[in-house]
Amino acid sequence: MSFVAPSPPPVTTVVPASASRTHLGVVPQPDVVLIHPPSVFDFRERTIFYGPISDVIPSSPVFEMYPVGFLTLAAYLRRHGYRVRIINLALLMMRSRRFRPERLLRKLRPVLFGIDLHWLPHAHGGPAVAALLKKLHPGIPIVFGGISATYFHEELIRDDAVDFVLRGSVTEPGLLALVRELKSARQFARVPGLTWKENGLPRVNAEGTAASLDDCTYDLGAMVAGVTSHLDFWSSVPFHTWWGHPITAVFTVRGCARGCVTCGASHAAFQRFMPGQYPLLRSPASVAAQVRQLAELTRAPIFLVGDLRDGGEAYARDVLDALAAAPVNNRIVFEFFDPPSREYITRIDASIRHWGAELSPESHDEEVRARLGKAHFANVRMEEAIEAMLALRCENLDLFFMIGLPGQTYGNVLETVGYIERLFIRFDRRLSAFITPMGPFIDPGSNGFESAERHGYIMHARTLAEHRALLEQRDWESILNYETRWMTRAEIVDATYDAAERLNELKRRHGRISDDCAAAVSKRMGTARAIRRKLLANGELDSAEVRAFSEGTINDKSELFAPGAFLRNFRIRGIVKLLVREVFGRVTGLRGYEVSTFEDRGESLSTSERTRSRKTARPLAH
C-alpha cells in the first residue's frame, strides 16, 4: 500500500504574489524545499548561555551552517530534472527578530519538504519546524535526513509531523526515488533506505545500493542563479558571516576509517547503524574538479575534509597528482588525524602552490590520546612533522586540542596548555593552537555513547526527546549530555575557561594574535565567567548580554576564519561565467552540468587516469 497522506497541490500552478521573475517569467515553485532549522527553534525568545560550544566552527551557537549534503542533494535532483530550493531558516531567524518563519513557509508549495537532522544540536529545531510546516501545509509530506535522523529514525517516525526518514550518509538516490514516487505511483516500499508510515504504522525499507561519491557534487551555477533570480542574498547562505569569509570545502570522504570513541561518524559508529559500506571515497579526479569549481568562484581557502591518507598511499598520491595537474591560486588546507611523514609533506609542497594544514592531536597526553581512539602516536613524531611542514611552504598550521576526553583531568588540561607553549617557543608564528570543550554532545552511535561506562562517560540523555530537553536548559554546562569519571560537567566548564584564558595570553605573548585581539577575547571571557556566576546564584540574566557573550569567548573566530572584503574574497569574472552558463542552459533546455566545460568536470584527464579514478572511488576495505 502507498503513503496515505493526501496529494499536495500542483507545484507549478500556485505561485505566490511575491515570487520574483527571471528572463523566462515567474519563477516556478520548487519540487523540493530543503530547510535548515536553528538548533533551538524559539531561541529568540529564550535566554540561553551557550558559552564557547561554537567558537572553533564557522557558525554561531544557533548552528546555522547547513550540512554540505544540502548542496549535493540539490545538484543531484536538479541533474534529474527537479527544481530545488535551499532555505537557511536558522540564518534568516538570526538576522532579524522581526522575521516570521511562518510567513515565508506559507508561500511555499513544493512536492516535498526536507529537514536536516545531521548533528544532534538540531534535535529541538528540526522537529519544531516540522510541526510548523505540518500546520501550514498538512497535505505536503516532510522527510528528515542526516546522521542523527538515521540513528533516531524509529523515534522520529512516531512524530505526527514526520512522514519519512531517509537513512544513510549518501541519500541522493533515495531522495530522487522518493520524489519520483510522490509524483507518480506513490509506492514508497520501493524507496531504498526509507522509514515511513503505512496506515499509521512504521515501515522500514531495506537499504539500497551505495552510490558513487563522484555522483554527489556541487552545482555552483544553480546556487548563484538562485540567489540572483530570487534577489535573495541570505536564504541559501551557509552561515551568517559567509559573505565576509566564504570558507569552502571539498568532502573527500563520507564516513571515517578512525575509531574516535565520541564521534557518531567513526568507523565503529557507522558499522553500528549507518546503511552502506564506509568510508566511501571521492575519486581524485572529482576532488580536483570540485577544487577547480570553487576556485572559479572565490579566493578563499579550500579545505579538503578528511585525511587523504586514510584512503591508502596510492589514493593520497593520486589526489595530489590530480590537484597538481590543474593548479589553483587558493590555499588548499589539508586535514591530518595523525602526523604525516616527511615524504608525504614534501610531496604536498611539490604539488600545491599554496597550502596549509590542520592537525588534531586532541591531547598532549599520549595515553589520553590513545584512549580517544583516533590515533596513537608519540609527541616526538608530531613535532618532527611540524618541523618538516614549517621548513617548507606551509602557510599556516593549526593544532586542535579537546576537553572532555577519557582519562583527562582538570590538571591534565592545564598541562596541555603548557605543552602548547613549548611548541610556540620552538616554532614560528605560522603554528597556532586551539583548545575547546567537546560539546554539546557525545554523538549517539559512538562507542562512548553506546558503551559509556567502559569509556568512563556518564550520560545525561539517551533519546531524541531527552536531548531536545537538554537544549532548552539555561546554560551550556547543563546542556552537555555527558560528564566523565575524571571531570564533572562543572569541572569541564572550569577547565575550559582556565585553559583558554592561559592560551589566549600565550598567543599574545608569542605573537600569534595581536594585543587588541587578546584583550577583546579576555574581556569577553571575563563577562562569560560573570554570567556563569549569576547562573550559579540563580540570578536574573540580561538576554542581550547573554547573546553577545555566547560566542568568541575562548578565542576570536578571526584566528581561524579571517574576514575580508567582498571583492577580495570573490572572483566576479567567475561568478559572471557561472551565471552565463546557467542562463544558457535554461534557454537551450540543457542543465548547468550539461553545458559545463570538460575541464570543469575533470574530463580532460586521460582515459587511464579516469579508469584509475573510478577504481579509487570504491569503499575502503574493512
> Does the structure show a pLDDT above 90 at 561?
no
Average pLDDT over residues 262-274: 96
Class of domain 246-519: alpha beta
Q: CB within 8 A of 55, min separation 6: which ones? A: 436, 551, 552, 553, 554, 555, 557
Looking at per-residue pLDDT, the higher value among 346 and 615 belongs to: 346
pLDDT at 605: 35
Task: Return the percentage of the chain with pLDDT > 90, whole number.
Answer: 71
pLDDT confidence of residue 21: 39
Query: Residue 432 above 50 pLDDT?
Result: yes
Report the C-alpha gap between 2 and 16 in whole angstroms. 30
Tell how strand 194-198 and strand 248-251 pair up. unpaired
**What pLDDT, on the 0 to 100 scale, is given for residue 450?**
98
Beta bridge partners of 483: 458
In this model, does residue 388 exceed pLDDT 70?
Answer: yes
The set of cell numbers assigned to 444 is: 549517539
The pLDDT, as a whole number, for residue 240 is 64
* pLDDT tens-digit map of 216-255: 988 776 666 666 566 566 677 776 666 666 778 999 999 9
Q: In angstroms, rounded to a whole number, what is the distance separating the alpha carbons of residues 194 and 187?
A: 12
Choose the weakest-confidence range: 16-25, 281-290, 384-393: 16-25
Q: What is the mean pLDDT of residues 174-203?
A: 97
Distances (CA, A) of 452 to 246, 456, 460, 461: 38, 6, 11, 12
All three cell numbers of 219, joined, read: 552545482
Tell me the per-residue pLDDT of 477-504, one tens digit each, with 9 for 90 and over: 999 999 999 999 999 999 999 999 999 9
Q: State phi, psi for 474 to the nearest 5 degrees.
A: -80, -20
pLDDT in tens, 354-367: 999 999 999 999 99
pLDDT of residue 609: 34
For the chain, what is the mean pLDDT? 87
76's grid cell: 543531484
User: What's the burial of 114, exposed, middle or buried (CB within 10 Å: 0-12/13-18/19+)?
Assistant: buried
Report how far residue 352's alpha carbon sits from residue 349's, in angstroms, rounded to the nearest whole number: 6
What integer is the mean pLDDT of 329-341?
A: 97
Nearest to 283 by CA among 334, 340, 336, 321: 321
Q: Cell digits for 411? A: 590538571
Distance CA 374, CA 486 (A): 20
**Side-by-side strand order, sheet with 32-36:** 84-88, 32-36, 112-116, 142-145, 164-166, 194-198, 201-204
Out of 302-311, 333-342, 480-489, 551-560, least confident range: 551-560
Q: What is the pLDDT of residue 226?
A: 64
CATH superfamily for 27-214 is Response regulator (3.40.50.2300)
- Say if residue 105's pLDDT is above 90: yes
58-72, 428-442, 510-524, range with the lowest pLDDT: 58-72
> Which three-class secondary structure state does DSSP give residue 60?
coil
The reported pLDDT for the residue numbered 175 is 98
β-strand pairing of 332-336 with 280-281: unpaired
The mean pLDDT of 425-434, rounded to a whole number, is 98
**What is the structure's pLDDT at 567?**
65
What mean pLDDT comes out for the span 333-360?
98
Considering only CA atoms, which of 122, 155, 113 is closest in space to residue 273? 155
Mean pLDDT of 338-363: 98
The pLDDT of residue 457 is 98
pLDDT single digits (tens) 107-151? 999 999 999 999 999 999 999 999 999 999 999 999 999 999 999
Q: Sign of the CA dihedral 306, 310, 311, 316?
A: positive
pLDDT of amino acid 191: 98
Domain ranges of the chain: 27-214, 246-519
Q: What is the pLDDT of residues 515-554, one digit of tens each?
A: 999 999 999 999 999 999 988 888 777 888 887 778 888 9
What mean pLDDT is predicted for residues 436-456?
97
Q: Which of 11-20, 134-143, 397-406 has the lowest mean pLDDT?
A: 11-20
**Cβ neighbourhood burial of 490 (10 Å; 0-12, 13-18, 19+):** middle
pLDDT number for residue 103 = 97
The per-residue pLDDT for 582 is: 64
